[in-house]
Amino acid sequence: MPAIAEVFTELRESDGLLRVLSDWTRIVGARSRGILFPYKLDKRKKTLRIAVPNAMVRSQYEPLAALIVEKMAKVCPGSGVEHLVFSVEPRFFKRHKSVARPRPGIEPEPGTVTGKKEYLVAQGLSPERAEVLARIAARLERRRHAAE
């Protein structure tokens, strides 16, 4: 049975899109790889379709298409890509939920949070989780006292 690395190497050599995907960070850089996602390679038209999350990103990167194609030719020769098409495809990107901000008046006192956090850390929780749980416990306690 062939090793997974051998199978991947064979697939990578035969499939142009897989080759581009495996070298994508080297082509566009670490900062851009999160907002540019190559998803379809048309070998006949020599076109690579790249998904972007919104029209603003598309308008920023369309002028750079020639540079990306040039870099692609250097990093993965033989990919055959001569044109890029940027399309707005938000389904390819993870949506981040906004973090709820605490309402005024229910922020716990720092001393109560510190004591609860130290107790939770002593019980074996990581300091980060202990901090979150301590804040939650202190807020609940403060709400209980306010309701009484």
Question: Which domains are present in the chain?
Answer: 4-92 (3.30.300.180), 110-147 (no CATH)
More confident residue, 80 or 66: 66
Q: Which of 87, 5, 89 is nearest to 42 (CA)?
A: 87
**10 pLDDT above the threshold of 60:** no
Q: How far is CA 93 from CA 14, 96, 126, in A?
A: 27, 9, 30
Residue 117 pLDDT class (50, 70, 90 cuts):
confident
Structure confidence at residue 54 (pLDDT): 94
Q: Which of 9, 80, 91 is nearest to 42 (CA)?
A: 80
Structure confidence at residue 107 (pLDDT): 58
User: How far separated are the first and last CA of the chain, in Å rounded?
Assistant: 69
List CB contacts of 113: < 8 A, sequence separation 6 or more: 131, 134, 135, 138
Q: Which own/partner pairs from 140-148 qualify as long-range (CB within 8 Å, at least 24 positions apart)?
A: 141/108, 141/112, 142/106, 142/108, 142/109, 143/106, 146/106
Q: Which of 80, 70, 66, 65 is nearest to 19 (CA)?
A: 80
Phi–psi pair at 41, nearest 5 degrees: -120, 120
In the chain, where does DSSP find H-type helix?
Answer: 4-14, 16-22, 24-28, 55-61, 65-75, 110-122, 127-147
Single pTM value for the model: 0.56
Structure confidence at residue 1 (pLDDT): 46
